[in-house]
Amino acid sequence: MRSRQLGTALKHYREAAKLDQQHAADHIAGSKTKISRMETGQVSARPGDVRLLLELYGVEDRAVHIELEQLARESNKRGWWLNFPWAHKRQGFSDFATLETDATYIRTWQPLFIPGLLQTDDYVRALMRQSLTFQAPEAVEDSVTIRQTRRRFIEQGGSQFAAVIWEPALTAPLPSPKVHREQLMHIAEVAQQQNVSIQVLPLIEWRAAHLSPHFTMLSLGAEPASEVVAYDTTMSTVLLESLEDMAVHAKIFEALRSAALTPDQSLAFIRQALKDIPADAKESE
């Protein structure tokens, strides 16, 4: 996936410079086939080749050089998620995890569940134990560990994160009031970080809530413009990369944000929802 990102960027700059693949191949003493395979992500480009190609293409922005050379260095880096058998079984997850790890901006819309990057360990366990696709206890705990690792990217300020969550996802009862309470407390805490924006879409905003099923938009550069849209099915993660898909989902996300409560109003809503969670009979004993 990182090789594809790098190849797409190199092709963009080559075409902007109005040079063909043979020009590029001659400049790095390689073959036209090598350039073609680099641009399609079939092989990883070396940092030195990236530097030479960007110079040939007239790219003077130092930030671009640093970003793409770093991408070349990390293109064959083993992903942390590969240590978990579950990640191998879920189609598309490895690509998504790579993109999420590298993302600078993450925007997500969730009408039914708490966004994955905000889920507590016990919330994940509650979901997985109700799933028809997670039977083994070790699969449940793998999912918990994966969520823990993914949460760090926003908790440590590694990327800008914005979420719009429909009210039922926050207020619908969970099997355990304790789990529910701890989940909302976690969201309220994370919502106060400078790199995080959380907005609640009120239940009455039915029209906005039905603009789209859940999705996540990922940006990989210095600009917030989305480059990938992802959504989960029962057994796989689907990635969309066309410009039309980016434009449509960006428009939907802005409509959702406009219809939602402000971040400050949303934090107040979550705090009130915490107070409204009924006490668990076991807790009262």
Start and end residues for every CATH 3.30.870 domain found in the chain = 81-284
Cα separation, 4 vs 42, in Å, equals: 8
- DSSP secondary structure letters along 144-160: HHHHHHHHHHHHTT-SE
| Positions in the chain short of pLDDT 50 | 284-285
pLDDT at position 18: 92
**What DSSP line would sit under 193-214, residue for residue?**
STTEEEEEE-TT-HHHHTS-S-
- pLDDT on residue 78: 61
Class of domain 2-74: mainly alpha
Task: Give the angle 75-237-253 at the CA atoms, nearest 5°.
Answer: 100
Over the stretch 9-32, which tens digit does the pLDDT of each residue have? 888 888 998 999 898 888 888 888
What pLDDT was estimated at residue 149?
Answer: 78
Segment 142-194, tens digit of pLDDT:
778 877 877 887 777 778 999 999 999 999 999 899 999 999 999 999 999 99
pLDDT confidence of residue 81: 58
105 alpha carbon, distance to own chain's centre: 8
Spatial contact of 24 and 35, defined as CB atoms under 8 Å apart: yes
Q: Report the alpha-carbon distance of residue 186 to residue 114 in Å, rounded.
A: 11
Say if pTM beats, i.e. exceeds, 0.95: no
Position 111 scores a pLDDT of: 96
Query: What is the DSSP code string of 112-152?
Result: SS--GGG--HHHHHHHHHH-SS--SHHHHHHHHHHHHHHHH
Where are the CATH 1.10.260.40 domain residues in the chain? 2-74
Structure confidence at residue 246 (pLDDT): 92
CA 149/CA 143 separation, integer angstroms: 10
Which architecture characterizes domain 81-284 according to CATH?
2-Layer Sandwich (3.30)
pLDDT score, position 82: 63
